[in-house]
Amino acid sequence: AQSVTQLGSHVSVSEGALVLLRCNYSSSVPPYLFWYVQYPNQGLQLLLKYTTGATLVKGINGFEAEFKKSETSFHLTKPSAHMSDAAEYFCAAGKTSYDKVIFGPGTSLSVIP
């Protein structure tokens, strides 16, 4: 069965530092991959997605992610953290019927002033 893992349930970074949130998926065939962000008391908002083509994907708010087939990874990065980036981040993979996706457990990002 396909699964998505996110290393680190909580990550803290200083404002201006690099953000790195890790995501690995299990599948013999590369799936479609997504990163979502959830701000407090809100639903999930799409940050970026990988379907086919270029393996480095740019999203909103300065985030990007790189699909690495050999490592079955799709890590999320941002060069310089901002206070407004504090939120919960979910990685998700889809390769099932009817556009179902499997979500990772989430990583809570804190940004320290």
Partner 1 sequence: DVKVTQSSRYLVKRTGEKVFLECVQDMDHENMFWYRQDPGLGLRLIYFSYDVKMKEKGDIPEGYSVSREKKERFSLILESASTNQTSMYLCASSSSRVRNQPQHFGDGTRLSIL
Give the footprint of partner 1 on this chain (CB under 8 A). Answer: 9, 32, 34, 36, 41-46, 49, 51, 90, 94-95, 98-101, 103-106
Question: Residue 80 or 100: which CB sits closer to partner 1?
Answer: 100
What residues contact 78, with CB distance under 8 A and at least 6 apart?
18, 19, 61, 62, 63, 64, 85
Least distance (Å) between residue 16 CB and partner 1: 29
Question: Residue 19 or 31: which CB sits closer to partner 1?
Answer: 31
In angstroms, the CA 17 to CA 99 distance is 35
In angstroms, the CA 95 to CA 23 distance is 16
Least distance (Å) between residue 15 CB and partner 1: 25
In angstroms, the CA 44 to CA 37 distance is 6
Least distance (Å) between residue 113 CB and partner 1: 25
Question: Residue 3 or 14: which CB sits closer to partner 1?
Answer: 3
Least distance (Å) between residue 23 CB and partner 1: 12
CB-count exposure of residue 93 (10 Å: 0-12, 13-18, 19+): buried
